[in-house]
């Protein structure tokens, strides 16, 4: 049902964006990265060298169990080439630590550091310590490519695979090189093209569902709960924004919703959004689907609300940042925004994976800001660990061996996300489930750390959820293709 209207104070879009997604007083430190904004301080990544690098010991004995990844034992003899020696396995993160998604990504990177600290404390993989090589792309494609070249090299920064490659156009720019270099990459991107049965996705190990299928689920659920007949769509251009917009349009067509405002690709980050806001308000849709970043969502949602639009809003997961609840947008989001995403959120489910993740973060980074981003950290880590342990069991920890191991991997995410495999036809194995939450400011603990009892401001409405549209969708190619 549509949420009840509540009175709020006037909204100041520019001030909100600065409060939610800006500021340069954080001291986050990572390898080759400038300070990032609005994120918990992450421990320094180990230096990438040919010699083994030991993980700093905790002040007290650490009894945290290793994450529950079920894999066969390593072979007696293991082939290696780049990124692996007798003591160390180097894993790359080509991450946005200073660009538009830095508040999200810096937290995910910090969570991966905690994850691998625990794995290393419990003996590592095949008797080797896992060393993260972390480089900042600034959400810039040329910089991402420079980072890739350094980590694909045979030198001291060379890695066996990427446990994170931030961005859709950024990862897309490396797909041919991934194949040529026999490198596997987990994208921090949910573009539907990663699962397309072509060369584009052949070395890209996508996690969870895609922007396109997520949008189908979200629009179907929102329309049903709100008896909607009209929809507005606002998105960035490119593989992120337009993949989500295409999913929303496919759902609208299947449901008979009238698209009264089509803003697919119309929202350019950093530009004046007044024309978009004005046209959206004039169209007066019942529901709005957004594929944006949090700062731009805040500007458009806040501006449209200020001008009288009372639609129910949702959007692809990266559009939202729970820290917006600490700003003037909080009461607005509490009233009109439902959060769609790919995983369980902090404390939202009682499962072995959730318990292990919370205990792990409290053991390794007790002062980190409470965030749902660490679920992404843990699942990225679990998927990477599963590949590496399967490669070790196959006796082949070369780069090509890691790519080949993916066909044998099945990951049980222990309740953090839908379980996943990557073998067979993509239409048979792609993930179709997503989660939908009501933004609930009464459950938001501003400034809480992972060591405190608190929440990130959500009530689970449904999930893992598959609507009829996404469930019946015959996936043969990406929903959106640039050019």
Better pLDDT: 139 or 47 = 139
The answer to whether residue 282 scores a pLDDT higher than 80 is yes
Q: pTM of the predicted model, to two decimals?
A: 0.84
Integer Cα distance of 320 and 323 in angstroms: 9
Q: Check the CA dihedral 440-24-296-347 and report its sign.
A: negative
**What pLDDT is recorded for position 201?**
61
Confidence of residue 69 (pLDDT cuts 50, 70, 90): confident
**What pLDDT is recorded for position 483?**
73
Confidence of residue 34 (pLDDT cuts 50, 70, 90): very low
Give the H/E segment covering residue 429. helix 426-429
Say what the alpha-carbon torsion angle 389, 420, 344, 337 is, to the nearest 10 degrees.
Answer: 130
Confidence of residue 451 (pLDDT cuts 50, 70, 90): very high
The residue with tokens 């949602």 is 301
Confidence of residue 198 (pLDDT cuts 50, 70, 90): low
The answer to whether residue 200 scores a pLDDT higher than 70 is no
Q: What is the pLDDT of residues 421-444, one digit of tens each?
A: 999 899 999 999 999 999 999 999
Integer Cα distance of 411 and 387 in angstroms: 9
Better pLDDT: 211 or 199 = 211
The answer to whether residue 47 scores a pLDDT higher than 90 is no
Q: Check the CA dihedral 212-383-129-368 and report its sign.
A: positive
| Cβ atoms of residues 94 and 147 within 8 Å | yes
Q: What is the pLDDT of residues 105-163, one digit of tens each?
A: 999 999 999 999 999 999 999 999 999 999 999 999 999 999 999 999 988 879 999 99
**What pLDDT is recorded for position 39?**
31
Peptide bond into 419 cis (omega under 30): no
The answer to whether residue 21 scores a pLDDT higher than 50 is no
Integer Cα distance of 232 and 258 in angstroms: 9
Among 41, 158, 39, which Cα is nearest to 101's?
39
Q: What is the pLDDT of residues 332-362, one digit of tens each?
A: 999 999 999 999 999 988 999 999 999 999 9
**What pLDDT is recorded for position 477?**
92
**What pLDDT is recorded for position 59?**
41
Better pLDDT: 101 or 23 = 101
The residue with tokens 């994120």 is 39
The answer to whether residue 1 scores a pLDDT higher than 60 is no
**Share above pLDDT 70 across residues of the chain, in percent, rounded to a whole number:** 86
**What pLDDT is recorded for position 353?**
96
Q: Is 34 helix (H, G, I), strand (E, B) or coil?
A: coil
Instruction: Compute the residue count for the chain.
Output: 483
The answer to whether residue 64 scores a pLDDT higher than 80 is no
Most confident of 14-28, 39-53, 385-399: 385-399
User: Which residues, listed in sequence order, are joined to residue 80 by a DSSP beta bridge?
Assistant: 397
The residue with tokens 């129910």 is 312
Domains and CATH numbers, the chain: 32-209+349-429 (3.40.50.2300), 211-341+434-472 (3.40.50.2300)
- What average pLDDT does the structure give for the chain? 87
| Cβ atoms of residues 427 and 475 within 8 Å | yes
**What pLDDT is recorded for position 168?**
87
**Share above pLDDT 90 across residues of the chain, in percent, rounded to a whole number:** 79
Among 172, 166, 240, 169, which Cα is nearest to 202's?
172
Mean pLDDT of 46-75: 53
Q: What is the pLDDT of residues 400-418, one digit of tens each?
A: 999 999 999 999 999 999 9
**What pLDDT is recorded for position 3?**
35
The answer to whether residue 270 scores a pLDDT higher than 70 is yes
Mean pLDDT of 289-293: 96
């Amino acid at each position: 049902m549509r949420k009840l209207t509540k009175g709020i104070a006037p909204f100041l879009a520019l001030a909100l964006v600065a409060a939610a997604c800006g500021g340069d007083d954080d001291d986050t430190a990572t390898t080759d990265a400038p300070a990032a904004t609005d994120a918990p301080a992450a421990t320094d990544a180990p230096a990438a060298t040919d010699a083994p690098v030991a993980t700093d010991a905790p002040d007290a004995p650490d009894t945290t169990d290793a994450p529950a990844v079920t894999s066969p034992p390593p072979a007696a003899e293991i082939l290696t080439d780049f990124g692996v020696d007798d003591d160390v396995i180097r894993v790359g993160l080509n991450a946005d630590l200073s660009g538009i998604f830095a508040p999200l990504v810096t937290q995910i990177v910090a969570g991966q550091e905690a994850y691998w600290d625990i794995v290393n404390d419990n003996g590592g993989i095949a008797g080797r310590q896992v060393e993260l090589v972390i480089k900042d792309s600034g959400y810039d494609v040329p910089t991402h490519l420079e980072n890739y070249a350094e980590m694909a090299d045979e030198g001291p920064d060379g890695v066996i695979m990427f446990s994170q490659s931030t961005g859709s156009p950024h990862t897309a720019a490396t797909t041919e090189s991934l194949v040529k270099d026999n490198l596997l990459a987990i994208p921090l991107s949910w573009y539907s093209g990663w699962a397309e049965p072509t060369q584009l996705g052949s070395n890209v190990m996508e996690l969870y569902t895609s922007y396109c299928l997520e949008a189908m689920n979200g629009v179907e659920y929102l329309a049903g709960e709100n008896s909607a007949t009209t929809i507005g769509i606002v998105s960035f251009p490119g593989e992120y924004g337009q993949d989500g917009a295409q999913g929303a349009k496919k759902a609208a067509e299947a449901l008979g919703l009238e698209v009264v405002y089509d803003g697919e690709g119309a929202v350019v980050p950093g530009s004046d959004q007044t024309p978009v806001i004005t046209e959206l308000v004039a169209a007066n849709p019942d529901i709005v689907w957004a594929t944006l970043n949090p700062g731009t969502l805040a500007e458009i949602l806040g501006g449209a609300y200020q001008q009288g639009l009372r639609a129910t809003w949702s959007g692809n997961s990266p559009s939202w940042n729970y820290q917006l609840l600490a700003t003037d947008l909080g009461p607005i989001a509490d009233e009109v925004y439902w959060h769609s995403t790919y995983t369980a959120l902090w404390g939202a489910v009682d499962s072995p994976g959730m318990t292990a993740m919370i205990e792990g973060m409290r053991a390794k980074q007790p002062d980190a800001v409470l965030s749902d981003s660490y679920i992404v950290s843990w699942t990225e880590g679990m998927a990477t660990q599963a590949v590496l342990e399967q490669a070790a069991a196959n006796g082949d920890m070369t780069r090509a061996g890691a790519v080949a191991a993916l066909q044998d991997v099945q990951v049980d995410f222990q309740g953090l996300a839908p379980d996943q495999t990557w073998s067979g036809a993509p239409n048979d194995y792609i993930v179709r489930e997503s989660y939908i939450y009501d933004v609930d400011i009464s459950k938001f603990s501003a400034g809480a750390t992972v060591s405190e009892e608190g929440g990130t401001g959500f009530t689970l409405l449904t999930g893992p959820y598959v609507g009829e549209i996404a469930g019946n969708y015959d996936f043969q190619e990406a929903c959106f293709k640039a050019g």
